[in-house]
């Protein structure tokens, strides 16, 4: 699916709110006009003030395409125009404007196969989570290694779910690294993602990855993508998505 300017705006009702970390909360939406989407795609959200001023923000979809609701995991940005509304004002039952699905490059379906190397920094894990959940629900056997970098343990978005999936040992491996705290699991790391860590993650896959997805801040994506290339992964199979500064 390609990003199309004619994608119509529609109303979406908040059906559930779930705290993920101190700064990230998931909002679940029922769409007035449901659409099919692929894991990795995003939506635009639009808020309109009483004086007519509008603010827009793009958010990756965290839910798998099989889900009946759309999950957006929204990080609170103190200087943001949209995220403070969700964290401080929005309640179940509220309606917002939304359009999508958008984005056609940073996507994966179980029919694409694997192995996959997924690399996320902070909230950059959100579209990767959609891929992981899609793999699980489709009972895909595609091997997946998810490298997830966060500052501290309490900021690991979807932590319990990811550890639960890792414990299943069904071809999904979680490679968690904390950059400002000692690791909490024997298999985890306590540093920024580097070439050596990538090579160790690749060793968990039965063969080299068919695709690699990297998502996070501009600085994170640049450093992580270079670490992948230095570890021998071809730039041709690396897909990136960046946000912020």
- Measured between alpha carbons, how far is residue 213 from residues 39, 112, 238 in Å? 12, 13, 6
Q: How confident is the model at residue 3 (pLDDT cuts 50, 70, 90)?
A: very low
Identify the pLDDT of residue 5.
52
pLDDT tens-digit readout, 125-169: 999 999 999 999 999 999 999 999 999 999 999 999 999 999 999
Which secondary structure element, helix H or strand E, spans residue 29, and what is its range?
Answer: strand 24-31
Q: Are strands 238-243 and 211-217 parallel, antiparallel or unpaired?
A: parallel
Cα 180 to chain centroid distance, Å, stands at: 21
Q: Which two tokens stand for residue 203?
A: 């060793």
Contact, 158 vs 152, CB < 8 A? no
Domains assigned to the chain: 10-102 (2.40.30.10), 110-243 (3.40.50.80)
Mean pLDDT of 46-67: 93
Q: State what percent of residues in the chain have pLDDT above 90.
A: 91
Q: Indicate the SS3 state at residue 87.
A: helix
Q: Are strands 10-19 and 95-102 parallel, antiparallel or unpaired?
A: antiparallel
Q: How confident is the model at residue 50 (pLDDT cuts 50, 70, 90)?
A: confident
pLDDT tens-digit readout, 82-115: 999 999 999 999 999 999 999 989 999 999 999 9
pLDDT tens-digit readout, 182-220: 999 999 999 999 999 999 999 999 999 999 999 999 999
The mean pLDDT value of the chain amounts to 94
Identify the pLDDT of residue 2.
42
- DSSP annotation string for 33-79: S-----BT-EEEEEEE-TTS-EEEEEEE--S-TT-SSEEEEEE--TT
Q: How confident is the model at residue 14 (pLDDT cuts 50, 70, 90)?
A: very high
Identify the pLDDT of residue 6.
62
Helices (H), the chain: 83-88, 125-137, 159-168, 195-202, 218-230
Answer left, alpha or beta for residue 13, where phi above 0 means left and psi between -120 and 50 means alpha.
beta
d(Cα 174, Cα 118) in Å, to the nearest integer? 10
pTM of the model: 0.94
Identify the pLDDT of residue 1.
38
């Amino acid at each position: 699916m390609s990003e199309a300017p004619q994608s119509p705006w529609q109303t979406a009702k908040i059906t559930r709110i779930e705290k993920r970390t101190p700064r990230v909360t998931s909002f679940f939406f029922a769409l007035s006009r449901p659409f099919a989407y692929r894991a990795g795609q995003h939506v635009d959200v639009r808020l309109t003030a009483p004086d007519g001023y509008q603010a827009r923000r793009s958010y990756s979809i965290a839910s798998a395409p099989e889900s009946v609701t759309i999950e957006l995991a929204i990080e609170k940005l103190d200087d943001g125009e949209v995220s403070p509304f969700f964290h401080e004002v929005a309640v179940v039952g509220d309606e917002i404007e939304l359009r999508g699905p958008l984005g056609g490059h940073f996507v994966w379906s179980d029919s694409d196969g694997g192995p996959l190397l997924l690399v996320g920094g902070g909230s950059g894990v959100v579209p990767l989570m959609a891929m992981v959940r899609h793999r699980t629900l489709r009972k895909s056997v595609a091997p997946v290694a998810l490298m997830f970098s966060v500052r501290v343990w309490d900021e690991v978005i979807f932590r319990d779910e990811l550890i639960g999936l890792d414990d299943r040992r069904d071809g999904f491996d979680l490679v968690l690294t904390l950059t400002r705290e000692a690791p909490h699991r024997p298999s985890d790391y306590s540093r920024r993602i580097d070439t050596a860590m990538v090579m160790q993650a690749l060793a968990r896959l039965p063969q080299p990855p068919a695709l690699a997805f990297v998502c996070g801040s501009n600085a994170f994506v640049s450093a992580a993508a270079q670490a992948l290339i230095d570890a021998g992964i071809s730039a041709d199979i690396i897909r990136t998505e960046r946000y912020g500064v």
